[in-house]
Amino acid sequence: MKKKVKKIVLAYSGGLDTSVILRWLQENYHAEVIAYTADLGQEIDRKKIIRNATNLGVKNIVIEDLKDIFVKDYIFPMIRGNALYEGIYLLGTSIARPLIAKRQIQIAKKFKADAVSHGSTGKGNDQVRFELGYYYFNPKIKIIAPWRDWDFTSRSDLIKYAKKNNIPVPSDKKGAPPFSVDDNLFHTSTEGKILEDPSKQAPEFIFQRTVSPEKAPNKPSYVTIGFKNGDPISINNKKCSPSKLLSLLNNIGGKNGVGRVDLVENRFIGIKSRG
């Protein structure tokens, strides 16, 4: 029997992992789960998120548009600091976690929840990013990290549980589990499957936002970026919001084959990961 909690705020994407976690929290803690989704510029399907959470009995679903806050208060300062991990990783996933953690704690206060939860595994760095953020904003909050706690030992265990609970299981065109993807306005990262073999080249189709440099136009694109206090505020003399500006630059760079990185990083617990 788990320690009694009444309400849990879960960082919820609407996908397989967090939907399984949502049901598992309900079964093991007998608590109300509040599904929280931060829109940071990823391709979120609001209807899907609401449908999947509602089908699991969730009454409170919070979806917030945080794109401008994310870019202005997190991405821009990171760029000003030339922040890189191990000289190459652009920290697109990393910089998003403190904002999500902060809002989860604020949502927990609003709903008088006594616990928060995330879907990060026990092998990666996100578990540390989330939990340091949680404790910074509320040192007394209870943190539930299912991937370190439950009895599932493999992906197949997760899928069996999902099917048992009528949770949709995504698959690629061949019926296999898809790549692990994290995306927001700053980046799209892809991990797993063939990428776990460092001798294999990353397949072209995983690059969702950039064309191959070989297929990029054989002529330059000219862009004028206006700055104020170190932050970009305009493109080609047209002012726009932080999120709009970054989105436009992403499109320009992507069309010109700019923005691809294939790397192996060291994780907090000592293992290596390619993405």
151 is catalytic: no
Higher pLDDT among residues 22 and 159, named by residue: 22
Q: Per-residue pLDDT tens for 154-168?
A: 778 889 999 999 999
Torsion of CA 68, 74, 80, 85, to 10 degrees: -130
DSSP 144: E
Q: Per-residue pLDDT tens for 188-234?
A: 999 999 999 999 999 999 999 999 999 999 999 999 999 999 999 99
Q: Which of 17, 19, 129, 243 is catalytic?
A: 17
CATH 3.40.50.620 spans which residues of the chain?
7-67+97-164
pLDDT of residue 101: 99
Least-confidence region, from 42-46, 48-52, 169-173, 205-209: 169-173
Mean pLDDT of 95-119: 98
Classify domain 7-67+97-164 by CATH architecture: 3-Layer(aba) Sandwich (3.40)
CA distance 186 to 188: 7
| CA proximity to 92, closest of 182, 210, 187, 185 | 187
Q: Which of 126, 129, 183, 243 is catalytic?
A: 126
180 is catalytic: yes
Q: Which of 51, 68, 114, 180 is catalytic?
A: 180
Handedness of CA 67, 68, 69, 70 (dihedral sign): positive
Tell me the whole-structure pTM to 2 decimals. 0.94
Q: Which of 23, 97, 103, 129 is catalytic?
A: 97
212 is catalytic: no
Residue 1 reports pLDDT greater than 60: no
* Mean pLDDT value across the chain: 94
Quote the CATH superfamily of domain 180-274: Argininosuccinate synthetase, chain A, domain 2 (3.90.1260.10)
68 is catalytic: no
Residue 37 reports pLDDT greater than 60: yes
CATH 3.90.1260.10 spans which residues of the chain?
180-274
